[in-house]
Chains A and B, each alone.
Chain A
């Protein structure tokens, strides 16, 4: 018995020693462990998710964009209100929206001090255009560019196949272009990996990347533009919401993105915390595939639209944090051409069907369709969409329509978009550019099945959208709204809500003018300041 006691005592003693040793190495988590530099006040941002590569060209997730816009520049960037502003191109001009001239900035330098050359820019555009090298962004250039010509050391001419006033967005770093040094890019075996972290001329450089764990950026000395108060920023990927809240309450992170709406009150309870809600320019709505029976029947589509209680969903599921969508494009998406209240007023006139169960019953009766069964799926990382699906299923059951709600991984759900297999499905769209026609250019391309996720064919809408995409954003507004109106009347899409997101920051920092463009805008860390 003495032997057993001794074994247990020694074991417990060794374990305790191990634990104490481990505890002893726990430093303040917000201070960098990079021994090569002196203590730098570091901003720590808690991201609810993970990231495998820094390369937007490979993985075009929104978090990849947040980081890449700080490291790599495009020919243009966007301002905090979503307007295109000079970046590597100090100015640009076009007479016919086909031939574009860009004057390249002479003082732009990469983080190693070398100057950005026009060859670097051409190489980066050609890489972005190649779907094999850039599956994440090539779509912004597909069949668009006829030729790229170097006029002189500081002038680049890009000729397009067709006139395209929205081309300016393609060469921004909120869409398709992230300029890197040609020599570095050619030598890299896997851009965006820890071995070949991003290399650019933006205000920050990457100093460490641990896939799935964190990314640390440090201000670079050679940036041509105005620097920010934040010298170093670390993005920590925290996959569990409860753990992220504890990390925030414990002071381990300064700023948290996308806090769950239902937990906002809890976050507000942490001393000195600011919880900020803002429109994130997201669209949540139903896509009705008119090639799938019985949704080819206009009355069936209208019956579904009338049965959907958007305001009820926002009040009960989103805790009031969202706006009833009257069209597929949120009003904030028009910010670069008009003020948001004007856009909201215009969009409120777009045909849409407000909740009315009596009208829903009437429309279903007019359809002559017998009670039927359908399925709707939602991605598992959008639980609110799942709850909204259940609300819709409950309402449709009153019409005799059985709607089976299925939860699935995001990746599987993505594969179902526009597949033509399901009559009713969700569309969740987060716009990255400030182009008012960004969402409509896909959803309202009425050319036919395969061109839009609802697979509808409507020559009038298609014609209007062709017109919208061939003139400037300002000139195309009227046709854009008209296209929305026709699609709304035909109920190819049933808008449900325009999303709002919440962010939280601690008393250690102050964040100004935070909106949906902020974390994509030029040197967006200028909006962040330390309080001491």
Chain B
């Protein structure tokens, strides 16, 4: 398979994924109980005529396929409609929330990788020693600690007691530090374990033994090990990114951050279909891109992986 065929196949797969996802989400929201028109009016007296008028305005009175095809035609033309709840253009409505969440996820990712990868390598290089056990225990605690508890503890000590950070909101980069740390702890713990295991595999591999036997300099051995260990780490980190977006819902609630997670939750419960569709698709696009980006980085760092997969395919 040449490079362009590979890219076309990847894009096609991505397109099919997005189409399927949009259809499934639209179907689920259509079937979900609740009535957006009733939600707009609240617990007050309402007439059928009023509800009909509101439904007609948002085309909620049309059959399922008509609603879906209307949305799809708009989406293809980058017209994602208006929020039922706020009557705002979808992009204007979602953009401020998305910005906050992207910052939060970005900082969390940087924290996780910067701290967890070196710790994982360090633990692997000191396998069985006291420091390895300490790092392992920390990783175990980090991966088991519930996010809401970690968030509240951080909030109490660093925002309330020490007053180093704001206690809520998203007023600046400083207000995202504690939420980012909360998110990073569980993700970082996972990366520590992953990195440690990947490095241990490389340390015990045949090529390491041969390099040592040939008296190759230690830093050159480490370079080779890091290159080979990077593939599973980067691939898994790319996948973890999707989980990170999912975890933001809880953290955004604890720290009162008006991000994408909380917007998506309220849009789902309100049955604000255009908002849910847009956010879900935007996240799917990001995950597809992250996955593709990870593959490219892995390939650039270690072209042998691609070569070996090619030779394996040839052999079959």
**What is the interface of chain A, defined by CB distance below 8 A to chain B?**
1, 3-4, 7-8, 11-12, 14-15, 19, 22-23, 25-26, 29, 33, 50, 52-53, 55, 58-61, 131-132, 135-136, 138-139, 142, 189-190, 192-195, 210-214, 236-240, 242-244, 246-247, 249-250, 252, 408-412, 414-417, 427-430, 441-442, 445, 450
Select from chain B the residue with minimum beta-carbon distance to A410: B269
Judging by beta carbons under 8 Å apart, are A211 and B34 in contact? no
Contact A131 B43 (CB under 8 A): no
Tell me whether B170 and A250 are in contact (CB under 8 A). Answer: no
Inter-chain contact A25/B174, CB cutoff 8 Å: yes
Q: How far is the CB of B264 from chain A (nearest CB, A)?
A: 12
Distance between Cα atoms of A210 and B170 in the complex (Å): 10
Q: How far is the CB of A102 from chain B (nearest CB, A)?
A: 25
Q: Are B269 and A409 in contact (CB under 8 A)?
A: yes
How many angstroms between the C-alpha atoms of A211 and B170 in the bound complex? 11
Verify A142–B88 contact, CB threshold 8 A. no
Contact A412 B88 (CB under 8 A): no
Q: Does B309 contact A (CB under 8 A)?
A: no
| Whole-angstrom CA separation of A58 from B256 in the bound complex | 23
- The residues of A that contact B173 with a CB separation of less than 8 Å are 22, 25
- CB contacts (< 8 Å) of A214 on chain B: these are 169
- Is there contact, CB below 8 Å, between A238 and B125? no
For A23, the chain B residues whose CB sits under 8 A away are: 164-165, 174, 177
Assess whether B242 is interfacial by the CB under 8 Å rule. no
- State how many angstroms separate the Cβ of A142 from the closest Cβ of chain B: 6
Closest to A432 in B: B44
| Cβ–Cβ contact A411 & B42, under 8 A | no
Q: Do B86 and A135 touch (CB < 8 A)?
A: no
Contacting pair A246 B269 (CB below 8 A): no
Cα of A240 to Cα of B160 in the assembled complex, Å:
15
Contact B256 A190 (CB under 8 A): no
Q: Which of B96, B169, B174 contacts A211 (CB 8 A)?
A: B96
Decide if B144 is an interface residue (CB 8 Å cutoff): no
| A-contacting residues, B112-156, CB 8 Å | 114-115, 118-119, 121-122, 125, 152, 155-156
Min distance, Cβ A6 to any Cβ of chain B, angstroms:
10
Contact A58 B86 (CB under 8 A): yes
Taking CB atoms, residues of chain B closer than 8 Å to A239 are: 252-253, 256, 262
Query: 0/1 per residue, B60-99, Cβ < 8 Å to A?
Result: 0000000000000000000000110111110011001100
Whether A192 lies near B219 (C-beta < 8 A) is no
B34 close to A246 (CB less than 8 A): no
Are A246 and B39 in touch, CB under 8 angstroms? no
Contact B39 A194 (CB under 8 A): no
- Which of the residues A7, A59, A410, A427 comes within 8 Å of B85, measured between beta carbons? A59
Q: How far is the CA of A142 from the CA of B48 in the complex (A)?
A: 11
Chain B residues with CB below 8 A from A194, complex form: 96
CB distance from B226 to the nearest CB of A (A): 10
B57: nearest chain-A partner, CB-CB = A132
Pick from A53, A55, A210: contact of B258, CB below 8 A. A210
Cα of A427 to Cα of B44 in the assembled complex, Å: 10
Nearest A-chain residue to B259, judged by Cβ: A212
With A3-B222, A7-B118, A242-B152 known to touch, is A60 a contact of B48 (CB < 8 Å)?
Answer: no
Any chain A CB within 8 A of the CB of B5? no
Given A135-B40, A139-B41, are A22 and B118 also a contact pair (CB < 8 Å)?
Answer: no
Expressed in whole angstroms, the minimum distance between the Cβ of B26 and any Cβ of chain A is 18
Q: Hey, which chain A residues are within 8 Å of B86, CB to CB? A: 52-53, 55, 58-59, 190, 192-193, 211
Instruction: Select B270's contact among A4, A193, A411, beta carbons within 8 Å.
Output: A411
- The answer on a CB contact under 8 Å between B43 and A246 is no
Interface residue B168 (Cβ < 8 Å from any Cβ of A):
yes
B297 to chain A, nearest CB (A): 18
Tell me, in angstroms, the Cα distance from A136 to B163 when the chains sit together. Answer: 41
Complex CA distance for A5 and B98, rounded to whole angstroms? 37
Q: How far is the CA of A265 from the CA of B40 in the complex (A)?
A: 36
Query: A3-B222, A210-B258 known; A58 and B42 CB under 8 Å?
Result: no
SS of B interface (majority): helix
A8 touches B54 (CB 8 A): no
A69 CA / B115 CA spacing, docked (Å): 50
Measured CB to CB, the closest approach of chain B to A201, in angstroms, equals 23
Considering only CB atoms, which chain A residue lies closest to B271 in the complex?
Answer: A411
Whether B168 and A236, one on each chain, are in contact in the complex, defined by CB atoms closer than 8 angstroms, is yes
The reply to whether the CB of B25 lies closer than 8 angstroms to some CB of chain A is no
Chain B contacts with A in 187-220, Cβ cutoff 8 A: 218-219
In the bound complex, CA of A14 to CA of B115 (Å): 10
Task: State whether B44 touches A247 (Cβ < 8 A).
Answer: no
Q: Is the CB of B54 within 8 A of A26?
A: no
Chain A residues contacting B253 (CB-CB under 8 Å) are 239-240
Tell me if B50 is interfacial: C-beta within 8 Å of chain A: yes
Of the candidates B88, B92, B156, which one forms a contact with A246 in the assembled complex, judged by CB atoms under 8 Å apart?
Answer: B156
Is the Cβ of A15 less than 8 Å from the Cβ of B166? no
> Is the Cβ of A8 less than 8 Å from the Cβ of B118?
yes
Cα of A409 to Cα of B39 in the assembled complex, Å: 11
Does the CB pair A414–B50 fall under 8 Å?
no
Look across to chain A and name the residue whose beta carbon is closest to the beta carbon of B46.
A139
B45 interface residue per 8 A CB criterion: yes
Additional pairs, 11, CB under 8 Å, beyond known A60-B42, A411-B36: A11-B118, A190-B87, A193-B88, A211-B93, A211-B258, A237-B256, A242-B155, A246-B156, A411-B34, A412-B34, A441-B45
Contacts of B284 in A (CB 8 A): none
Task: Check B88 against A53 for contact (C-beta < 8 Å).
Answer: yes
Query: In the assembled complex, which residues on chain B have CB atoms less than 8 Å from the CB atom of A142?
Result: 47, 49-50
Which residues from A are CB-within-8-Å of B4?
Answer: none
7 A–B contacts, CB within 8 A, in A order: A1-B218, A139-B47, A210-B170, A210-B258, A428-B43, A441-B45, A442-B44
For B38, what are the chain A residues with a Cβ–Cβ distance below 8 Å?
A: 414-415, 417
Chain A residues whose C-beta falls within 8 Å of the C-beta of B111 in the assembled complex: 15
Give A59 to B87 CA distance when docked, in angstroms. Answer: 10
Identify A50's interface contact among B164, B172, B222, B266, CB under 8 A. B266
Contact A415 B166 (CB under 8 A): no
**Bound complex: CA A53 to CA B166 (Å):** 24
**One of A26, A61, A189, A213 near B42 (C-beta < 8 A):** A61
- Residues of B within 8 Å of A33, CB to CB, are 171
Residue from the set A192, A244, A415 with the largest chain B CB neighbour count within 10 Å: A415
Which chain B residues border A445 with CB–CB below 8 Å?
Answer: 45
Chain A residues with Cβ below 8 Å from B43 are 414, 417, 427-430
Query: Which residues from A are CB-within-8-Å of B218?
Result: 1
B167 at the interface (CB under 8 A from A): yes
**A170 to B: closest C-beta gap in Å:** 13
In the complex, which residues 286-313 of chain B have their Cβ closer than 8 Å to any Cβ of chain A?
Answer: none
**Nearest CB on B from A371, distance (A):** 28
- Considering the chains assembled together, what is the distance between the CA atoms of A73 and B48 in angstroms? 29
Closest 6 CB pairs of A and B: A212-B258, A442-B45, A409-B269, A415-B34, A53-B86, A22-B174
Known: A414-B42, A415-B38. A4 touches B166 (CB 8 A): no
Q: How far does the alpha carbon of A29 sit from the alpha carbon of B174 in the complex, in Å?
A: 12
Nearest CB on A from B213, distance (A): 19
A177-B163 Cα distance, complex, nearest whole Å: 43
| Complex contact A414–B44 (CB within 8 A) | no
Q: Hey, which chain A residues are within 8 Å of B121, CB to CB?
A: 4, 7
A19: chain B residues within 8 A (beta carbon): 177
Closest Cβ of chain B: how far from A116's Cβ, in Å? 25
A4 in contact with B122 (CB, 8 Å): yes
Q: A26-B164, A243-B168, A442-B45 are in contact. Are A190 and B174 (CB under 8 A)?
A: no
Known contacts A50-B266, A410-B269: does B166 contact A26 (CB below 8 Å)? yes
A184 CA to B37 CA, complexed, in Å: 27
Residues of A within 8 A of B97 (CB): 211-212
